[in-house]
Structure 1
Amino acid sequence: GQDGWGVTYSSTEICALKGSTVDMSCTYRYPYWQNDRETEVKETFWFTKLSGKQPVDLRKDTDYRDRVEYSCSEKSCTLRITDLRESDSAEYKFRFITDQEGGKYSGLPGVTLSVTDPLRVPSVSVSPSAEIVEGSSVTLTCSSDANPAANYTWYKKNGDPDLHPLRQTGIYHFSSISSEDRGNYSCKSENQYGEIMSSSVSVDVQYAPKLPSVSVSPSAEIVEGSSVTLTCSSDANPAANYTWYKENEDSPKASGQIFTITDFRAEHSGNYSCEAQNRRGRNKTTVHLTVAGELSSFTCPLSFILSSLLISWTLVLFMRTSQTSLQHRQKTQSSRKTCCEVQFTVTVTTKTLHMCSVILFRCS
């Protein structure tokens, strides 16, 4: 200061947390003897505001009521502020007034106080905020006003009590979101003063039905006259609607997840399809039903038939040759004809092996 007047602060910059207590200290000096008399200090106080160009004592400022106290001695003074608020962030100056003419002095610049709230709950948002469709681009954003600046970590809850960390970033981007990405997401904000978790945000991904699963009850052989129940299910969002069709029939057989045939007959055999559909698409699965032991068409292999015929004609020729060589012993039978028949028998069932049997010849 000039001519022996001055204020010295122990610290000119202070950072403090919301709700905490802070102390600011200073020492001051002035001429001990001036204008032929000893200088006497009449008043000391701290201020941040002016009223009519005059500093306002913090003890009289309603914003600090019951939260400030002074601890002053000769040529030193400490200001204490309790229950700090973010609005307390300001420049604090010390002023003293003496009995000398013009003997007033303010320490400029003062002490800069920064009050921060490091544990403010971060806010989270999802873009787009409308319906999210599988394959689209989705962005999750986490932000807070923490000071110092916070670091962020995204978590996903997968149905168990634990949260699974995903990525350390304020922005989490899905370039092509899938049905497996749906769920509840939370963001943790963290800096040197602590950490705090956000509330969770739900990401609901809509998608077409996955390939339906069809179960048949009973799962064993279907006995004619029995009841058969088909059940269809598919993973879909929104939930799927189900329609049942039979092969080569235009009209649907039923709607709903469960389709029951109460008296199953041979004419009910065939391929049945379950189609699952929602506004995002459709998918279907086909099953084959047949009555136990039902006959089905079967043709003996051509190679089997041809080989049988070859053997048959070989035997026919052999018989004729034998007949000629023995004519002298069979004169009484020379007028008789030899008849050889080839007979095929086919026996087939769905529950036994396909069988082809051939009676090669019968001669008389």
Structure 2
Amino acid sequence: MNMRRNDVNDLQVKVIPSTINPSSAELKCQSSCRLPDRSSFIWYKNGQKIQDETSSTYEGNFSPADSSSCALKGFEHHPAPSVCVHGQSCNRVIYTDRSICASRGSSVDISCTYSSDESITSSFWFSPDRSHQWQNPSQPEDLSKDSQYAGRVQLLETEKGRSTLRISDLRESDSAQYHFTFKTQSFEWRSSLPGTTLTVTALQVQVIPITVHQSHMEAELKCLSSCSPAGRISYVWFKNGQKMMKEETSLYSGQFNPGDNISCALKGHEDYRSPSVYAPKLPSVSVSPSAEIIEGSSVNLTCSSDANPAANYTWYKENEDSPKASGQIFTITDVRPEHSGNYYCEAQNKIGSHNSTLHLIVVTDPGTAITIAAGVTAAVLLLIIILSVFLWMRKKRASNQSSEAEERPDNRERTQPEQDNLHYASVQFSNNQADPLYSNIRSDQLHRHMEEQEVIEYAAVNFNRAGTAPRTRGQETGEDPSALYSTVNKTL
């Protein structure tokens, strides 16, 4: 027999007091629904497991403060509410809901009632699923002090013996079990009984096409989640990021273009929108292996596109009506020359479609493929070399022009003084020699430089003017000094 949730939610503990021993009682786990034959049960006392895989009845001694609960084996998350075995005042916690489902961004109230035969000194909510973050894993920690819930948790005591944990701006990471515990001077409720299980889900937009046209479509959209929110909920719809004011229900009907993005959110929680639904973007297509394909080999054509809902893919060959394949990857085995041509992939979902094309070339000779690849490689290398030479020559020309501009003023400065300088040769006559002697005559290199510059150079003749000096040959012979200058100049 298949069990339904209502069957296990309907479990109850029936207490049958003993007529012989006032502290003894027989407990029976039962349901208004028919339970499977030979079912196994689990029994709890004061929230702690006391017996596993036993029958639907349990007999024992209980104090006035004791409470008891039971659960069907395999459905421990749905135990029966705890009951006081003797009287109405005992240590117990009863959760209002065993499971709650809520949408991301919304708020939720998790409640319980509790009692004790002693004065309660402290109480708080905790989550065993977060025990790995407790300083002491065996000691529950107050959820209101957890940094993950900071600013999002409120503790409400609307009446004595009732506690409510309110969590706002729900996140999917908040999905967990939540327990309540309290302490007295001599007792601590540390339940091994399941608490309330919270499931947080994100909203989703469901697309129901009505009429599809070539350029647009008419469709009905539904904002939903795996949870069914309690009460009347208002929704907000967004089209291309802009809020649409006219709709506040979970349904939206209208005309949509392939480029439209549509999302929804709970009113008051617009920051927690559902993922947008939109037509496929331009598909990306590729071929593997990528080398310009050898006859007889195998090739894979791959297509992918961003879309929500997820796109379906269909492959076509140009000038052929029927599709070649469906799915993201189209594999062609034993490739033949006739497989060459244009292939296009169409990505399609309920919102629209988009396609992309690739060109496939099949060669019969492996050498042809190598030659083509080598030719392309050589062309690329040649282009790189030409570009490099052009850039080098351009840089060289710019460098030469810069050097000439820098050297031109220096050349003028060096040349001008050389042209303006007059070079002289000094000739001295000594009284100790019978013939005129020449001295301080510049080198042949200097004379050649002088000739190149076409500069007239003069020879200087020095005469001893001392009165006691002997007379020179010129004086003795009465020769004119100007004649000597002429002679020296001619000699030079």
Normalization by structure 1: what TM-score?
Answer: 0.36
More strand by share: 1
Larger radius of gyration: 2
Looking at both structures, which has the greater relative contact order when contacts are Cα pairs under 8 Å and sequence separation is at least 6? 1
Normalization by structure 2: what TM-score?
Answer: 0.27
More helix by share: 2
